[in-house]
Structure formats: structure tokens, C-alpha cells
Structure 1
Amino acid sequence: MRIGFDATILTRPLTGVGVYTARLVEALARTARFDEVFIFAHKPLFGLSDELPVNIVSKRSPNAHIFVQFILPRLLKEYDIDVLHGPNFYLPLISKTPSVVTVHDLSAQLFPEQHSHKHRLSQKLLRPSLKKADRIIAVSEATARDIEGFWSGVKNKVKIVYNGIDSDFKPASDDKISKIRKQYRLPEKFVLFVGTLEPRKNVARLVEAYSDARDNLDGAKLVIAGGKGWLFDEIFTKVEKLGISDEVLFTGYI
């Protein structure tokens, strides 16, 4: 079987869905003994091992959506792909290739005010993608319920497949811990947040909660690890207004 992946999410530094996609491609490529894995993208890729036994197909395109909707269908036919996985909510709508799509959450539908205008526009592709998909992966029971609540007609196609655990999540050596502490100037004790700095992550509220609770945290600082998304100024303003700049560390994207 020839398995294709829409890998456009891997053309920028990895965050949540990018990590999901990269690790899924890696695991499938290393365990699918009788299958060939093809990954399709419009730019150079991040986050994949150079030694991975996959076929990388790259065709330039102005952006990911144009690539997926107009270039990818032709490539799927050209490379005789048996099934396509869209790991980032969307599928090429004019393709006749059998397909699977992953839905990570419906936050854009449930809380549209927490998303940028650009992201809300791109979400208009979600409903037709779900209608087209042969199978829909929901990463949690909550997401499955949300999908069925918004679009009951696709209920029978939804399967819950939980996210796996990366092999990186294991006790680190003392030497590695020491190097990371020095690299990011980490305090001895800290509360850690990891995620993009944007409204839907509710980081400003986390800062408020930390400020209220810090006297009971035995000296622990707040470490916020993540790149800047959009409307992030409120977070930095909140830290300054509460007078806790010396107790909050921003590491940036890791």
C-alpha cells in the first residue's frame, strides 16, 4: 500500500499538530513493513530524521492551502497513492483518493473570538473535509462529541485515536538537566507552561493565578515556554502590571 501524508504543517517550526504529524510519519515509516510512505509539501520540512525511510515529494506553492487544494490532488494521482492522511484538519476536496483526516479540537468553532481572522477563514474547509473523508480521527472523546454535535451526519465515520507518548518523555540524565538549566537560566523550582502565546491558551489568566498563589509556591518561579502567536502583548503587560517581572521567565520558542 502507498500511504500519503499532507506534510504542509511540517514546513515551519513544530508546535502541537506539527509534532503529532512528524512522530506519526516516523512511527509509520519504521513499522509499516510492506507499505510505502510518501509525504507531500510545498517547502522544505522541519522535524523529520534524514534517515527516515520515506519518499519526500515537494512542489513549490504560494501557500499551504493552494498546495493542498490544487497541487496535491494531481500528485496523489501521479504517485498512485492508495490512501491520504490529512493530519491537520483539512483534505484536498477535489481528490478522489480515499482519505483520513485528524481533528484535534473544535476550538475555532466553540470559541471563534480566540482565533485570528485568517485561522477562522481556513476553518471553513473543515466541514467539507469531514464530509469528504472516509474516516475521521478524533484525538479525544471530547473532540468526538464536539464533531458529532456540530455535524451529526459524519458520526459514523468518527474514530477516537488517542495521541501517543513520544519516546523523548523519559527521565533525563543529571548532565542533560544541568545543561538545559544553564541554557535557559532556569530557577531551582518553577511552574512550567508550554505553548504558543495567543489568546486561546489563556496565558494572561495563568499569570494572574501565579501572582495570587506565588506566596504558597515555596519560591517557585513561572516559566513560560513558547513562541509569540498573535495578541500576545497582554501577557507581557500583565506581568509588568502585577510587578512580577523578576519571577516570570519567558524562554521563547523551544
Structure 2
Amino acid sequence: MPENHEILISMQEDFQLSTLNSKLKIGYDGKRAANNLTGLGNYSRSLIENLAIQYPENQYHVYTPKVKTAKQIDSFFQKENIKLELPKNGSFLWRSVNILKDLSRDEIQIYHGLSHEIPFAIQHTRIKSIVTIHDLIFLRFPRYYKFIDRKLYEWKSKSACKNANKIIAISEKTKEDIVEFYGIEPNKIEVIYQSCDDNFKKAFESSTLNRIRHTYKLPDKYILSVGTIEERKNLKLIVQALKDVNEDYKLVVIGKQTSYFKTVEKEIEKLGLRKRILFLQNIPFVDLPGIYQMASIFVYPSFYEGFGIPIIEALYSGVPTIAATGSCLEEAGGPNSIYISPTDHNALAEAINRIVCDPQLQKTMKEKGLEFVQKFNSPVVTKQLMDCYLNVLDSATT
């Protein structure tokens, strides 16, 4: 007779096998996937789409009260096993409360809140829930947020962490923050990193790169910065460093402008760098990988991040990367990227000059960076996520 633990293991394996051979019905908070063209929108669509490709036997229901018309959103919902679910009786409380009726009607087995929240009282239903926590920056650096926004984020995310069956943190640093701020047991939290869109993993043809360079009047040699132009992203530091960088290199900045842009402008004028900086906004997503691929260096000196997807995009694009210490960026950039203090523009300038003057260092950073970033490749991350779903279902039967 096998031991009890052997019987239990056999039952768990049988459960996972039978589950894999049957259709799962998985529900998602589709607010970001259906309406955002960057950031959390890309994360949500990429996650669901990769699951739909890698595990096509399942049904993926995306719940949202509204849908934005855009090419990448339209194509996402054209996938055969991704189903758009609009509210039957919509109200401003639908995503928080009334959605439970829709989930029950659709016989959803697992609901995944992709951005810090799940429906209230879902823990009192048969539906298992998972929540992704991207970061708790609003608690770590409250000065970057309005008081009412900060309190709302805290209320929703803390409730979700308490009531979800499982929490997915997108980095070890975010996991540490969840434990510290919310007192959650570490074994309830699983770290599953993010990947980036597969378009960043393909080298563009030279004709396409030439078309992109001409369209946006890109310089021959440039340092690239991508991200919202806000205080936390720390663009001012790059501007301060630029004055001490080889003049052949210009700075290309892609990102939405906020009030912090005025601070950056003043620094540019003060240092006389207007002709060395190009600001781009509303870049079509299809062209963005090409802009990465032609960059000489990617710089991301953010004071704090939950993970740092732009770093992953840069490494896949074969671009040497410099990032800041102090949060989780070392997790995203790996051991062969360079890290500097987010308050030390002299160190940043020195790091940039070191890279541009050393072809062998450039080669090593590109090769080792691409090798490291494979741990975030979509098939790897997608399998980890499906295993997480199955384990949550499994625990409900034992």
C-alpha cells in the first residue's frame, strides 16, 4: 500500500491532468485590456492572448463595461477562444459588485483581477480568485499621488490581497512590499514576472528601420528613454547627465507629458541642450520596437518601479541598458546591465560614456542581456501562470 502522501500526490496529479484535458472557464477584469493602449493594457492583453495560444482548449472571458476602438484591441478580441463580456445590467458598481452575477451565469471557475482588485464578496462564492499586484508605489512614495487616489488604491488592493485565493506579484520587490504593508503571509504570494509584447523579440528589416528613422527624424546615434514624463521616472537626471556625454549622442524621449515636463524643460534650457533632445508622443505601437532597436543605449533611472517592462523591451531589442538602484530594476535588467543611484547624474554620464567608448562592452551587454531576458519569455511565464491557476483549483479540492 502506498503511503498517504503518495496517494495525495497521485490524486493531485490526476486532478491536474483531468483539468488540463477539460475546458477551464477563466474570467478576467478587462478594463485595461479593452481600453488601455500602453502599460497595464499591454500586460493584460499579452497575458490573456498567450494563454489562449498556449492553452487553446480553455475559454477566456474578458469582462469590461466598455471597449475602446483601436487596432490592437480589435485584433485581441478576434481570437476564437477570447470572449468579450459586456454587462447585462451595467452600472458604475458593475466591476466591483454586480459582475458576480455574470461570472456565476457564465460558470467561471477562476477570476483573475489583473490590476490590484477583485469583486467584493467573491470569496463568498464558489469562484476562485487571483489578483495581480504590480506595485505599491502609492504607499512607498505617497507624494507622487493625490490623497483620494492613494486611499482608493490602498482600499481596493488591500481588500483584494486579503480575500483572493492567491496573489501574483510581478517581482520579488513587490512581494516584499505586500508582506510589509499589508501583513500578508509570504506563502500566499507567488512571483510571476511579466514578459513584453512579442513584437520586441523580432529584428526589423533594414527597410523598415529606415522608414521609421525617416518618419520620426531620429538622429544617427541616440540614447533612448521611454516612459511617462513624471517625477518618479526621473528624466531630469538623464538631462543633467547628457551635458557630460559625447556630443555625437542625442537623447530621444518617448512618453506622455505631465506637469513635471516643465521642470525638465527648465533644466534643458539651463544646460543649453535643446538641440540634443527629441521628444516624441503618441508613437504607433507597431513602430516602437524599431525605435528601440536603433538606439545606442537605453536609460531608465526611475526612483521606484514594480518591475520595469521597458527594460525587458530594451534587452530583447539588443540595447545596452542602464537603470537605477533602489527598487526592482536589477531583477528586470540582470547582472550585465549597469545600475546607478537615481540621484547621481555624474555616475550616469560616466556609465553612458563607458559604454559608447567600449565596443566590446556593448557586445557583451547585448549578448548577455538577451540571454538573461529569456527567463521572461512568454511560454515560460505563461506556463507558470497556468500552473498557478491549476494549483488554486487543486487546493480547493483538498
Q: Which moved more, 1:181-190 or 1:40-49?
A: 40-49
2:49 match: 26
1:248 shift after superposition: 0.9
CA contact 2:110–2:129 (8 Å) conserved in 1 = yes
For this pair of structures, how many residues does the alignment match? 249
1:15 aligns with 2:38: yes
- Shift in alpha-carbon separation, 1:171–1:181, aligned structure 2, 3 A: same
1:4 shift after superposition: 0.7
1:6 shift after superposition: 0.4
1:56 aligns with 2:87: no
Distance across 1 between alignment mates of 2:270 and 2:146: 25
1:57-93 deviation per Cα after TM superposition (whole angstroms, max 9, x unaligned): 1238676xx3421332222122221111111111112
Written as runs of structure 1 = structure 2, the 5 A alignment for 1:81-160 is 81-95=108-122, 96=125, 97-117=127-147, 119-124=149-154, 125-160=156-191
Aligned-residue identity in percent: 29
- Shift in alpha-carbon separation, 1:246–1:6, aligned structure 2, 3 A: same
The AA in structure 2 aligned to 1:245 is: R
The AA in structure 2 aligned to 1:15 is: T
1:171 match: 203
1:190 aligns with 2:222: yes
1:14 shift after superposition: 2.1
Distance across 2 between alignment mates of 1:73 and 1:13: 23
1:24 shift after superposition: 0.5
- Bigger share in helix: 2
- Shift in alpha-carbon separation, 1:232–1:121, aligned structure 2, 3 A: farther
Distance across 2 between alignment mates of 1:127 and 1:173: 47
- Shift in alpha-carbon separation, 1:166–1:94, aligned structure 2, 3 A: same
Distance across 1 between alignment mates of 2:256 and 2:236: 15
Secondary structure in 1 aligned to 2:32? helix
1:226 aligns with 2:277: no
- Shift in alpha-carbon separation, 1:173–1:194, aligned structure 2, 3 A: same
2:192 match: 161
Q: Which moved more, 1:176-185 or 1:144-153?
A: 144-153
- Bigger share in strand: 1
CA contact 1:131–1:154 (8 Å) conserved in 2 = no
1:210 shift after superposition: 2.2
- Shift in alpha-carbon separation, 1:35–1:106, aligned structure 2, 3 A: same
TM-score (norm 2): 0.58
CA RMSD, 1 decimal: 2.1
Distance across 2 between alignment mates of 1:187 and 1:146: 40
The AA in structure 1 aligned to 2:161 is: L
CA contact 2:36–2:42 (8 Å) conserved in 1 = no
1:218 shift after superposition: 4.9
2:370 match: none
CA contact 2:254–2:280 (8 Å) conserved in 1 = yes
TM-score (norm 1): 0.89
1:127 shift after superposition: 0.6
1:164 shift after superposition: 1.9
5+ residue gaps, structure 1, are: none
5+ residue gaps, structure 2, are: 1-23, 284-398
The AA in structure 1 aligned to 2:51 is: L
1:205 match: 237
Distance across 2 between alignment mates of 1:210 and 1:135: 44
1:177 shift after superposition: 0.6
1:246 match: 275
The AA in structure 2 aligned to 1:99 is: S
- Shift in alpha-carbon separation, 1:158–1:239, aligned structure 2, 3 A: same
Secondary structure in 1 aligned to 2:51? helix
Distance across 2 between alignment mates of 1:43 and 1:203: 34
Could you tell me which of 34, 39, 56 is aligned with 2:62?
39
CA contact 1:90–1:129 (8 Å) conserved in 2 = yes
2:27 match: 4
Distance across 2 between alignment mates of 1:12 and 1:51: 15
